[in-house]
């Protein structure tokens, strides 16, 4: 446990926030000490920022007194990225949730970083627009958090992740210096691209305070298809075909045979016997072009190993097709009180090797592994199921996880496709990124945050 803030430090912070927006009571601090990783650490204080300038002032105080600062949105990340493991101050941006401006003709929305993804979607929808990132948490996660983690989601297969859908940022570095990145147009090549450097940096380089988001026209209709394959290889070949034709699916979700079986046990959704891999596919577009999109996607889905291809004719049928995917999470929870959910990604053509390799690791470590995820990006959620009361099994999980990451890297994959590094994967980053490149990243961190006060202990290995 780190020490309390000194009276000088407290005084400086309260000059910025008053007493009602700078809390030090342990009960208040505890509420801001965890995130969806279920890890927890106690900060010395929680600051509720109302605007950009307050954050700049706070960062100058933190720099002067070398106080660690962890910025957070709604703490929905799963990797411990917003857990204040070095203590210090948690800065919450939840009250900075204003939409500053929406310009539908420019497909642009400007907001404070604490605005919820869901509020952005609602504001954009009024003009027939949407913002692409759609993490599961979209309804209650903040734009700032989405940007800090470069959130994706199922739609990323067609529309990209946070990194692909931001025009510019306002942010404050570790020294309290305000910067402005990017521009208000979809093209711009003046200066270095700091926007994307900050996106995905998990608050270790700067605190994002405002963002200009790129909006996209909302497709009027979506259609759902479900394709059952004999084995993973046939499904992976179908994924490559689906991604190789111009009618890119707006979602392309994968479930392996074990995942299908589990879901079926939980709730029968009519997946045929002998299904070794399932694809759930969504097409979107205008009413008068959706049929041809569905045709193109159906053609691409057909091929060796296809057992059944179903297209939903109504939204009720679509829901029925999605039900096996949706039954999966409760089924997994029921089966294993603790699941380690990784989110590795490999090139699409390596998916069969990945799933085969995971099967082998499952047998070697006696750990049940269930796989599903965003197939179009090769981004697979690898779920290692365990009983947390079984110490031996928890040890096996760790050993298995090591082998999973080694397998993924041997297939030219990445250890995190969308969840990020946080604390959970920090020690594995050096397996993926070579020492010289990592050293350069550390030097960049030094430039942005010379005192190392921003979210210490995250993203880069120590």
Subset of residues 174 to 203 that bind a copy of itself, contact rule: CB under 8 A: 177-181, 183-194, 196-197, 199-201
Q: Which is nearer to a copy of itself, 30 or 429 (CB)?
A: 429
Q: How far is the CB of 29 from a copy of itself (least distance, A)?
A: 28
The site string for a copy of itself over 272-311 (x = CB under 8 A, - otherwise) reads: ------------xxx-xx--xx-xx---------------
The site string for a copy of itself over 418-437 (x = CB under 8 A, - otherwise) reads: xxxx---x---x--xxx-xx
Q: How many angstroms separate the CA atoms of 350 and 160, rounded?
A: 21
Q: Which is nearer to a copy of itself, 17 or 254 (CB)?
A: 254
- The number of residues that bind a copy of itself (CB under 8 A) is 101
Q: Which is nearer to a copy of itself, 100 or 440 (CB)?
A: 440
Rounded alpha-carbon distances, angstroms, from residue 414 to 92, 351, 407, 420:
30, 13, 10, 11
Subset of residues 20 to 49 that bind a copy of itself, contact rule: CB under 8 A: none
Q: Considering only residues 219, 305, 352, 357, which one is a binding residue for a copy of itself as defined by CB under 8 A? A: 219
Q: Which is nearer to a copy of itself, 362 or 459 (CB)?
A: 459
Q: Considering only residues 10, 30, 50, 441, which one is a binding residue for a copy of itself as defined by CB under 8 A? A: 441
- Mind giving me the DSSP string for 321-383? HHHHHHHHHHHHHHH-SEEEEEEEE--GGGHHHHHHHHHHHHHHHT-EEEEEEEGGGTEEEEE
Q: How many angstroms separate the CA atoms of 226 and 224, rounded?
A: 7
- Residue environment code for 185-201, b if the CB has 16+ CB neighbours within 10 A, otherwise e: eeeeeeeeebbbebbbb
Q: Is 71 in the site for a copy of itself (CB under 8 A)?
A: no
Q: Is 462 in the site for a copy of itself (CB under 8 A)?
A: no
Subset of residues 120 to 139 that bind a copy of itself, contact rule: CB under 8 A: 127-129
Cα angle for residues 34, 401, 380 (degrees, 5° grid): 80
Q: How many angstroms separate the CA atoms of 462 and 460, rounded?
A: 6
Q: How far is the CB of 59 from a copy of itself (least distance, A)?
A: 13
Q: How many angstroms separate the CA atoms of 147 and 168, rounded?
A: 11
Q: Which is nearer to a copy of itself, 194 or 384 (CB)?
A: 194
The DSSP secondary-structure symbol of 106 reads G
Q: Is 3 in the site for a copy of itself (CB under 8 A)?
A: no
Subset of residues 233 to 252 that bind a copy of itself, contact rule: CB under 8 A: 237, 240, 243-248
Q: Which is nearer to a copy of itself, 39 or 107 (CB)?
A: 107
Cα angle for residues 402, 348, 354 (degrees, 5° grid): 30
Instruction: Please count the other Cβ atoms lying within 10 Å of the Cβ belonging to residue 330.
Output: 12
Subset of residues 371 to 390 that bind a copy of itself, contact rule: CB under 8 A: 374, 376-379
Q: Is 312 in the site for a copy of itself (CB under 8 A)?
A: no
Q: Considering only residues 43, 80, 152, 203, which one is a binding residue for a copy of itself as defined by CB under 8 A? A: 152
Q: How far is the CB of 271 from a copy of itself (least distance, A)?
A: 25
Nearest to 45 by CA among 85, 90, 81, 1: 90
Neighbour-count burial of 415, counting CB atoms closer than 10 A to its CB (0-12 exposed, 13-18 middle, 19+ buried)? buried
Q: How many angstroms separate the CA atoms of 123 and 118, rounded?
A: 9
Instruction: Please count the other Cβ atoms lying within 10 Å of the Cβ belonging to residue 26.
Output: 12
Tell me if 249 sits within 8 A of 226, measured CB to CB. Answer: no
Q: How far is the CB of 205 from a copy of itself (least distance, A)?
A: 7
Q: Which is nearer to a copy of itself, 139 or 217 (CB)?
A: 217
Q: Which is nearer to a copy of itself, 291 or 360 (CB)?
A: 291
Q: Is 347 in the site for a copy of itself (CB under 8 A)?
A: yes
Contacts of 205 (CB under 8 A, 6+ apart): 173, 174, 197, 198, 444, 445, 448, 449, 454
Q: Which is nearer to a copy of itself, 161 or 362 (CB)?
A: 161
Q: Considering only residues 107, 155, 233, 458, which one is a binding residue for a copy of itself as defined by CB under 8 A? A: 107
Q: Considering only residues 69, 102, 259, 346, which one is a binding residue for a copy of itself as defined by CB under 8 A? A: 346
Q: Considering only residues 25, 360, 387, 412, which one is a binding residue for a copy of itself as defined by CB under 8 A? A: 412
> Considering only 90-98, 161-169, 268-276, 319-327, which stretch makes contact with a copy of itself by CB under 8 A?
161-169
Q: Is 220 in the site for a copy of itself (CB under 8 A)?
A: yes
Q: Considering only residues 132, 251, 345, 401, which one is a binding residue for a copy of itself as defined by CB under 8 A? A: 345
CA dihedral 227, 150, 195, 377 (to 10 degrees): -30
Q: Considering only residues 92, 173, 209, 393, which one is a binding residue for a copy of itself as defined by CB under 8 A? A: 173
Q: How many angstroms separate the CA atoms of 380 and 382, rounded?
A: 6
Reported as type and span, the H/E element at residue 101 is: strand 99-103
């Amino acid at each position: 446990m780190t020490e309390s803030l000194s009276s000088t430090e407290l005084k400086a912070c309260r000059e910025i926030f008053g007493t009602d927006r700078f809390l030090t009571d342990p009960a208040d601090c505890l509420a801001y000490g965890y995130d969806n990783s279920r890890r927890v650490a106690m900060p010395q204080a929680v600051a509720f920022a109302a605007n950009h300038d307050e954050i700049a002032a706070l960062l100058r105080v933190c720099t002067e007194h070398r106080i660690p600062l962890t910025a957070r949105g709604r703490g929905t990340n799963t990797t411990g990225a917003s857990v204040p493991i070095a203590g210090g101050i948690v800065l919450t941006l939840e009250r900075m949730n204003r939409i500053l401006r929406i310009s539908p003709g420019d497909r642009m929305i400007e907001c404070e970083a604490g605005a919820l993804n869901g509020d952005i979607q609602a504001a954009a929808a009024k003009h027939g627009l949407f913002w692409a990132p759609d993490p599961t948490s979209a309804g209650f996660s903040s734009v700032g958090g989405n940007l800090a983690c470069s959130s994706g989601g199922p739609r990323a297969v067609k529309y990209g992740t946070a990194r692909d859908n931001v025009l510019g940022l306002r942010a404050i570095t570790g020294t309290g210096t305000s910067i402005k990145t990017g521009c208000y147009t979809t093209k711009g090549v003046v200066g270095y691209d700091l926007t994307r450097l900050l996106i995905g940096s998990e608050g270790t380089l700067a605190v994002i305070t405002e963002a200009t988001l790129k909006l996209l026209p909302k497709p009027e209709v979506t259609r759902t298809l479900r394709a059952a394959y004999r084995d993973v290889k046939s499904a992976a070949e179908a994924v490559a075909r689906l991604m190789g034709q111009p009618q890119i699916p707006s979602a392309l979700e994968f479930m392996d045979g074990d995942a299908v079986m589990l879901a079926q046990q939980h709730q029968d959704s009519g997946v045929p016997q002998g299904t070794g891999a399932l694809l759930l596919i969504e097409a979107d577009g205008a009413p008068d072009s959706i049929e041809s999109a569905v045709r193109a996607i159906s053609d691409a889905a057909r091929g060796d190993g296809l057992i059944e291809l179903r297209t939903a004719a109504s939204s009720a049928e679509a829901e029925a097709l999605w039900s096996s995917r949706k039954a999966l999470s409760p089924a997994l929870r029921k089966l294993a009180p603790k699941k380690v959910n990784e989110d590795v990604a490999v090139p699409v053509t390596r998916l069969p090797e990945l799933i085969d390799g995971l099967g082998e690791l499952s047998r070697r470590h006696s750990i049940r592994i269930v796989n599903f995820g965003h197939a179009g990006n090769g981004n697979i959620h690898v779920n290692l199921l365990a009983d947390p009361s079984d110490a031996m099994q928890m040890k096996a999980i760790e050993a298995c996880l090591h082998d999973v990451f080694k397998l993924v890297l041997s297939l030219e994959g990445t250890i995190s496709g969308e969840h990020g590094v946080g604390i959970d994967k920090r020690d594995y980053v050096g397996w993926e990124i070579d020492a010289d490149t990592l050293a350069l990243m550390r030097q960049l961190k030094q430039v942005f945050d010379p005192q190392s006060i921003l979210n210490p202990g995250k993203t880069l290995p120590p």
